[in-house]
Amino acid sequence: MATHLRNLFLLCPVIAAAWPGFVAYKERTCSDPLDIWSDGDLIDNSTLLIDRSITDVDSHAGGRYYENMTFPAAKATGDMDTDAGTQFVYWKVEDPDPTCQFIMMKDTPRGWQMLNEMPGAEILRVAQAGCYYTSLNPNDNLITSYCCGRDDCAIAEVEIQSNSPKDTSGEIAPSCTIKRSYSATPTIQDGKQIAITRPQTCEAPPACTHSITQSSMVSTALAHFQSYSWTTEEGVDVHFESGVDFLLASKMTTGISFSIAQSWMDETGTTLTETNITAAQEAGRQEAGSVAFYSFIPQYDCWTGDVSCGNDQDGNEKVLEGISFCQPRLATTGDPAGVFRMVYTSG
């Protein structure tokens, strides 16, 4: 589909209707159209275009943004306290190309530049035509995107947790120290969205609930967006790859990521943190006639600075710039702080 979309753009740059899109409706059969507005402007054909790839980060930040969305004629949910102020909005979607998926996300107030490749919080992901439910609030910012192929779509597979550090330096690593900290006060960042229940079909009107039956882990993270490679004065080759390492205290005891994390722990007076999202914390509401899973978006306290990891073989100091160290935020209960969200899918 990626090639198909690019070709379509070249051939029909002014025909917006040629793009696939999420078309808004008032009810689950997608037969009664719903007018939708973005920043006070009526959206043509009630359609949010899907014309930017989740991997198109440099030019389009991974999706098309629709700000301050309103749905004046949408039915209010209001069935439970947690639904207060939200509205039913259904979306008709045509079949994506084979191997492709369409994705709808909510923007997040803190942004996703640090701990996640997604530009927003996923609320809908579909691989086949249908009429899909979302629960939205007035003035939500929405992001549409698509992915094609296993590697690209893996970014959107929030059901899969990847907590293994990416060190390739073996057990020998230089000792690192904080050379410069940009701020003594941490910033709050949203972490990687985590699926905390399996997808389930809801066949019990008016709604079903999701209870967390197995704990999911939230752990210390080290974020870095530039790869580094050098040979130390001792002749040890060190490699530090771009991305985010989620560090586990039970597994992370050696390597360059641990050395950098240790320098930050010394600086911040913290230790590697592991905390679980448990069954006692939440139960989520799923609309009848849908397939969905329940997710959690943890919040982190993050410090950013430059880290010195000794000298290279030529005697030059090796400084890694803009490395972020992030600890899970904890609620007063000791549980991880964050946001629970239902994610609807095509099954």
In a domain, 63, yes or no: yes
In a domain, 97, yes or no: yes
The label of the residue with tokens 């549409």 reads 144
In a domain, 35, yes or no: yes
Q: Are residues 64 and 11 in the same domain?
A: yes
In a domain, 39, yes or no: yes
Token pair belonging to 136:
């939205």
Q: How remote is the C-alpha of 316 from its chain's centroid?
A: 38
3-class state of residue 322 by DSSP: strand
Q: Are residues 116 and 184 in the same domain?
A: no
Q: Are residues 135 and 185 in the same domain?
A: no
In a domain, 228, yes or no: yes
Domain count within the chain: 2
In a domain, 28, yes or no: yes
Q: Are residues 243 and 99 in the same domain?
A: no
276 within 8 A of 217, measured Cβ to Cβ: yes
Q: Are residues 82 and 122 in the same domain?
A: yes
- CB atoms inside a 10 Å sphere around CB 199: 16
Element (DSSP H or E) covering residue 305: strand 291-311
Task: Write the DSSP string, 195-215.
Answer: E-S--EE--STTEEEEE--S-
pLDDT in tens, the chain (347 residues): 444 443 333 333 333 446 899 999 999 999 999 999 999 999 999 999 999 999 988 778 899 999 999 999 998 875 544 445 689 999 999 999 999 999 999 988 776 668 888 899 999 999 999 999 999 999 999 999 999 999 999 989 988 765 555 554 456 789 999 999 998 899 999 999 999 988 999 998 888 888 877 778 899 999 998 999 999 999 989 999 898 999 987 777 788 999 999 999 999 999 999 998 876 666 788 999 999 999 999 999 999 999 999 999 999 999 999 999 999 999 888 889 998 899 999 97
In a domain, 133, yes or no: yes
In a domain, 292, yes or no: no
Q: Are residues 132 and 261 in the same domain?
A: no
User: What global pTM score does this model have?
Assistant: 0.85
Residue 307 to residue 312: CA distance in whole angstroms: 14
Enclosing domain of residue 248: 177-195+216-279+299-337
Residue 195 to residue 301: CA distance in whole angstroms: 21
